[in-house]
């Protein structure tokens, strides 16, 4: 007796969006390999909903979740809960999945016995690819975005929520995805301001169990980590800037938590 071929695993792509009309279209155009798209629309007032709805109609499966989510983890967990795929892939609007990575993802989930797989990241500042120096909570060159359903859970922090996984991790996929992390220096400084605002709120909520001395020392430790250990020096002045932003982030967060109030 010949058994029918097993159907390929279903892949759901998850997105969390706040007013991303300007770059959402180019991101969605590279997601046609998905079986389902789940989009959380967080207080969107632009055309993001229409773009997402049109893409869901195009691929024939998906969900739109609209609401107000104060915490990043809450909206990401809402997307995970709404997905019906065997495997889930998280993608942000400022990211793009190249065709080679799309093919690698489909091949991986068809044969993997692991529960999650990390993906490599190619970070761009404007048109410049910056490969080295990322780390210390201000950027990453690798992140775990591909996982089986019910394996990943996001924490309650406002910025860089803690993530927990169940099961067993698998190999890092070879092809990186593209991340347009910042447009220019001013954009990077604005991101530092947003991140430190959110981190300050987390610190106040937890009672600010940190000291000024500790955070001053972290400026130097994080700069060294990004510029030397993560080879940011290979990126010239961009490496200096990334290391500086990473070093200032915890100190600015601490000072905002002490000096400002919600």
Q: Read off the pLDDT of each residue in 107-135 and give the average, rounded to a whole number.
A: 96
Domains of the chain are 11-181 (3.90.550.10), 184-256 (no CATH)
Note the pLDDT tens digit of each residue in 218-258: 999 999 999 999 999 999 999 999 999 999 999 999 999 99
How far the first Cα of the chain sits from its last, in Å, is 68
Confidence check: pLDDT of 3 > 60: no
Q: Read off the pLDDT of each residue in 17-42 and give the average, rounded to a whole number.
A: 95
pLDDT of residue 136: 63
Q: Does pTM surpass 0.85?
A: yes
42 three-state secondary structure: strand
Closest-CA residue to 198 (of 258, 140, 256): 256
Confidence check: pLDDT of 13 > 70: yes
Confidence check: pLDDT of 99 > 80: yes
Confidence check: pLDDT of 57 > 70: yes
Confidence check: pLDDT of 80 > 60: yes
% of the chain with per-residue pLDDT over 90: 87
* Residues 7, 78: Cα–Cα separation, whole Å: 27
Strand residue runs (E) in the chain? 11-17, 36-42, 62-67, 87-90, 95-96, 116-125, 128-130, 142-148, 152-154, 163-165, 177-182
Confidence check: pLDDT of 92 > 70: yes
Note the pLDDT tens digit of each residue in 124-144: 999 999 999 998 678 899 999
Q: How confident is the model at residue 192 (pLDDT cuts 50, 70, 90)?
A: very high
Closest-CA residue to 55 (of 19, 27, 18): 27
Q: How confident is the model at residue 201 (pLDDT cuts 50, 70, 90)?
A: very high
**Residue 11 and residue 35 in contact, taking contact as beta carbons nearer than 8 Å:** yes
* Residues 95, 198: Cα–Cα separation, whole Å: 22
pLDDT of residue 7: 83
* Residues 212, 207: Cα–Cα separation, whole Å: 14
**Range with the lowest mean pLDDT among 47-51, 96-100, 138-142, 222-226?**
138-142
Q: Read off the pLDDT of each residue in 199-207 and give the average, rounded to a whole number.
A: 91
């Amino acid at each position: 007796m010949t058994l029918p071929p097993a159907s390929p695993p279903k892949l759901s792509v998850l997105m969390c969006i706040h007013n991303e009309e300007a770059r959402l279209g180019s991101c969605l155009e590279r997601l046609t390999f998905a079986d389902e798209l789940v989009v959380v629309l967080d207080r969107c007032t632009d055309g993001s909903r229409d773009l997402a709805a049109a893409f869901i109609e195009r691929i024939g499966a998906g969900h739109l979740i609209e609401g107000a989510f104060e915490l990043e983890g809450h909206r990401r967990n809402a997307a995970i809960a709404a997905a019906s795929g065997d495997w889930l892939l998280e993608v942000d609007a400022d990211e793009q999945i190249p065709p080679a990575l799309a093919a690698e993802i489909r091949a991986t989930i068809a044969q993997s016995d692991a529960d999650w797989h990390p993906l490599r990241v190619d970070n761009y500042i404007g048109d410049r690819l910056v490969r080295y120096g990322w780390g210390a909570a201000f950027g990453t060159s690798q992140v775990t975005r591909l996982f089986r359903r019910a394996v990943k859970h996001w924490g309650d922090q406002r910025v860089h929520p803690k993530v927990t996984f169940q099961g067993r991790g698998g190999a890092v996929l070879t092809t990186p995805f593209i991340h347009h992390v910042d447009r220019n220096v001013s954009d990077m400084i604005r991101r530092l301001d947003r991140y430190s605002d959110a981190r300050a709120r987390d610190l106040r909520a937890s009672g600010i169990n940190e000291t000024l001395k500790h955070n001053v020392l972290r400026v130097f430790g994080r700069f060294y980590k990004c510029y030397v250990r993560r080879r940011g020096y290979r990126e010239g002045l961009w490496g200096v800037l990334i290391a500086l932003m990473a070093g200032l982030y915890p100190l600015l967060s601490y000072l905002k938590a002490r000096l400002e109030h919600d």
